[in-house]
């Protein structure tokens, strides 16, 4: 059984290449979805457009700081997801080492794009419901919680792959295993048999 596991970790084997091709495909699908959502959000801006006057066709919330945050985060998420898709198409044409480089480069960029898309959503929604302060605050709190969750998950999964220090990789691996065990125990007790 150990020999099968070793053959999956050897970059020269076909199993290794298949494993990375599956990852590339998953990352490409997620990046394409982010690209589609952020592209659409760029043209259907929160608050809509001015329909008359000297600023006809301009966004109604153009001067609001939260709208500016929305535009910047949405734009960065769009372009990062485009870079991820291009990396993954490029990697399909290369050899195994190019495939590994593309996966290792695409994962952090995809994580950043996901966080930026979540921030853009919260900022856009906040800018259109600002008059109802308690709801606007609630949107920011909920968005902040989920952005923190996404960041923690990506850090926990990327540090073991990117760190040069074996001790740090081992600590993170134990932390992830402990987290999985704790969630498993918590949800196992809550299910009725």
Which residues are within 8 A (CB) of 160 and not within 5 positions of it... i.e. 6 or more apart?
169, 172, 173, 176
CA distances from 8 to 4, 16, 80, 102 (A): 6, 5, 30, 18
Rounded to 10 degrees, the C-alpha dihedral 71/152/28/34 comes to: -20
CB 167 within 8 A of CB 176: no
Render pLDDT for 169-182 as a digit per residue (tens, 0 to 9): 788 878 878 878 88
Structure confidence at residue 2 as a pLDDT band (50, 70, 90) = very low
Q: Can you tell me the mean pLDDT for 160-165? A: 73
pLDDT in tens, 18-53: 777 777 888 889 999 999 999 998 888 888 777 777
134-144 pLDDT, tens per residue? 998 999 899 99
- Predicted confidence at residue 187, as pLDDT, reads 74
DSSP-derived secondary structure letter, 49: B
pLDDT at 127 over 80: yes
């Amino acid at each position: 059984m150990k020999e099968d596991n070793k053959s999956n970790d050897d970059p020269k084997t076909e199993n290794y290449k298949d494993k990375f091709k599956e990852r590339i495909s998953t990352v490409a699908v997620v990046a394409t979805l982010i690209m589609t959502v952020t592209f659409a959000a760029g043209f259907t801006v929160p608050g809509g457009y001015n329909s008359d006057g000297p600023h006809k066709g301009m966004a109604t919330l153009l001067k609001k700081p939260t709208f500016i945050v929305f535009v910047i985060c949405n734009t960065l998420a769009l372009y990062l997801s485009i870079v991820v898709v291009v990396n993954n198409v490029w990697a399909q044409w290369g050899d195994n080492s190019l495939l590994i480089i593309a996966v290792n480069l695409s994962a952090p960029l995809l994580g950043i794009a996901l966080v930026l898309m979540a921030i853009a959503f919260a900022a856009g929604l906040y800018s259109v419901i600002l008059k109802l302060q308690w709801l606007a605050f609630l949107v920011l709190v909920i968005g902040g919680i989920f952005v923190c969750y996404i960041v923690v998950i990506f850090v926990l999964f990327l540090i073991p792959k990117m760190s040069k220090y074996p001790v740090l990789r081992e600590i993170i691996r134990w932390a992830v295993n402990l987290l999985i065990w704790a969630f498993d125990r918590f949800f196992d007790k809550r299910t009725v048999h």
